[in-house]
Amino acid sequence: MSAQTELPQIGEESAGSCCGGACHTDAAAPAAEGAVTTVYQVKGMTCGHCEGAVSSEISELAGVSSVKAVASTGQVTVISESALDEEAVRAAVDEAGYELVGTA
């Protein structure tokens, strides 16, 4: 007896995926009026999983409404209610296993 598990196809979001779908978005959400958009440079991202890990950790910071990480450029665009403490962002990126270089 063997159980078969149906795996999601590439590009198909799944609540059980490694990133919870965070790395499957095409663009950051539009900024609300008064929101702050900051682009950070992150070292070490190489794939969609990396993007998802960084996005997931930064998304947990208070006031963050959208995160879009792009491994090919190392840039992470964050939309938040107000400016974020860079040390908090650095800690989130570090928790994901990557290095925050600074703002882009």
Calculate what percentage of the chain has a pLDDT beyond 70: 70
Give tens-digit pLDDT for 19-39: 454 444 444 556 678 899 999
The reported pTM is: 0.71
Structural tokens at position 49: 């999983």
Structural tokens at position 39: 């682009």
Architecture of domain 30-103: 2-Layer Sandwich (3.30)
Sign of the four-CA dihedral 59, 10, 75, 87: positive
Counting as low any pLDDT under 50, the low residues of the chain are: 1-17, 19, 21-27
Question: What is the structure's pLDDT at 31?
Answer: 64
